[in-house]
Structure 1
Amino acid sequence: KTLQMGNPYLYRREASLDEDLADEPFSLPNLNANKWFLLFPTKQHWKEGSDAKGIEAGLEWLVSRYKADGIQSLAVPALGCGLGGLDWKEMGPLMCKFLSKMDIQTAIYLPQEQNIPPEFLTRKFLLGE
Structure 2
Amino acid sequence: MPVSTGLRYRATQPFVFEVTNIVNPAMGHTSTAYTAAVNPLLTCSTRFDFNLYSYESDLCIGAEWRNGGEGVVKGRLGFRQGLALLFDGRYRNALFSFGLVVDAHQRTNAFFRSIGLQIQYII
TM-score (norm 1): 0.32
> Higher strand share goes to which structure?
2
Between 1 and 2, higher relative CO (CA 8 Å, sep ≥ 6) is seen in: 1
